[in-house]
Amino acid sequence: MKPCVALIGPGRLGQALTALLQRAGYPVVAVIGRDAARSRAAARFIGVPDEVASTALTASAAADILLLCVADDALRPLAQALHARDILRPTHLLIHCSGLHPADILTGAGGCACLALHPLQTFATAEQGLASLPGSFMSLQGEATALAAGEQLVRDLGGHHLILSAELKPLYHAAACLVSNYVTCLIACACDLLAEAGPARQHFPQAFAPLLHSAIANSLALGPEQALTGPIVRGDAGTLACHLQAIAAQHPALLPLYRALAHQTLELAGRSGRLAEADRQRLAALLHNPAPASPGSALSEI
């Protein structure tokens, strides 16, 4: 028989993860939240009776695995509260799902094995998370005993594990934000540039879908250096100057973001070996110029 699970914090991630564990044969003995109605709704989503739902931390005592899916700032106080209520025993496995914090954020958990298990996945809804989790990578960090248990959990979830050091977690989480949250933000910014597009505006962001899918697929298949396309890797200073001028005139708040991304793209283009040095210098000069050049002046240089 597989270990029993108690979920503390039945949000989107907690619901999806616990539902998948329940389907994998892990008995769910408690779904604990601050609001009774939300806990019952989460229990139904997970596929367990309403009676499993609770607002009392003591309901987690019957579990072998305590899954803490709460906000990062609440992790340490929650672990301490569990210990103070004499709920924990040394045989418990205490798991949090923060991408940022190491397992030892749960220090004070009464001698339990502690594990950080973070799915490299987004959870816009519990349903979407449940569908997307199988096949996802999940990072693990903790002591050897906890890591062994975590590897088994990830296998049972249908995922792939990667083991991190505690020191790497902040950079790992920042990287995850870049490819998830910040991609979403970039899509929003691209739509903002087209706010005055008239009737065509209704087609965005959906019109970007084929372009996004191709860019992601090429980056994963070929690597970013060889997948890179566009005016910077082509050395097209005139196009870059037009972009800078148009954004400065119509959406100046987005100009620093565009410049910063263009600087990074210039570095990537250089690493790709496909950008001539003379072109690289010309583009760099454009990007370092605080006043965007007019299209005519840039075109006259090439």
What is the number of other CB atoms lying within 10 angstroms of the CB of residue 85?
A: 13
The residue count of the chain comes to 302
Per DSSP, 292 falls in state P
Distance CA 131, CA 136 (A): 10
Q: How far are the Cα atoms of 74, 80, 90, 277 from residue 85, in angstroms, in the given order?
A: 16, 9, 14, 66
Over the chain (302 residues), the average pLDDT of each successive run of 10 is 96 97 97 97 97 96 96 93 90 95 83 94 94 97 96 97 97 96 97 93 95 97 97 96 96 97 97 95 91 53 37
Supply the pLDDT for residue 300. 36
Q: Tell me: the pLDDT tens digits for 190-203?
A: 999 999 999 999 99
Supply the pLDDT for residue 301. 39
Supply the pLDDT for residue 298. 44
Supply the pLDDT for residue 109. 58
> What radius of gyration do the chain's Cα atoms show?
24
Contact 119, 133 (CB under 8 A): yes
Q: Tell me: the pLDDT tens digits for 220-242?
A: 999 999 999 999 999 999 999 99
Residue with structure tokens 């090429």? 218
- The H-or-E segment that residue 201 falls in is none
Domain map (residue ranges) of the chain: 5-170, 178-299
Supply the pLDDT for residue 222. 97
- pTM, rounded to two decimals: 0.89
Supply the pLDDT for residue 292. 67
Supply the pLDDT for residue 1. 87
Strand order in the sheet with 113-119: 53-54, 28-32, 5-8, 65-68, 93-96, 113-119, 137-142, 160-163
| Superfamily in which the 5-170 domain is placed by CATH | NAD(P)-binding Rossmann-like Domain (3.40.50.720)
